[in-house]
Amino acid sequence: MYCSHCGKELEEGAKFCSYCGEKVGSYSGTFPTKQKSTLYSDKSRLAAGLLQIFLGGFGIGRFYLGYIGLGVAQLLVSIFTLGLGSIWGFIDGILILTGFVKEDGKGKILEDL
């Protein structure tokens, strides 16, 4: 076996590389969780949907997901329609909860409920 960090040959069963001191196998051990975190959003679909259903007139669920422009738009529409436009945010909350909205504002995947 070989060190994944410096590439030197290691004794069988060694826990640490004697050349560079790296933990043996640490790279392959952490890679899958790293990859998952770059693909999937750390935001909760449930939290975003509920925020948007109850506070959608202010675009809060969209702000939470990182859709700043859309959140501001929903807020402005509610103000200019004297609250009537908040129905948009409410419907948007249902779309988030039911899975029609698949990504957060950074394009990361929202996990299903």
Q: Which is nearer to Zn ion, 8 or 106 (CB)?
A: 8
Query: By C-alpha distance, which of 44, 45, 42, 41 is closest to 95?
Result: 45
How far apart (Å, rounded) are the C-alpha atoms in residues 89 and 67? Answer: 13
Residue 75 beta carbon to Zn ion: minimum distance, rounded to whole angstroms: 54
Is 23 a binding residue for Zn ion by CB under 5 A? The answer is no
Does 24 interact with Zn ion (rule: CB under 5 A)? Answer: no
Q: Is 75 in the site for Zn ion (CB under 5 A)?
A: no
At CB < 8 A and 24+ separation, what contacts does 8-11 make?
none
Q: Which residue among 1, 6, 76, 84 contacts Zn ion (CB under 5 A)? A: 6
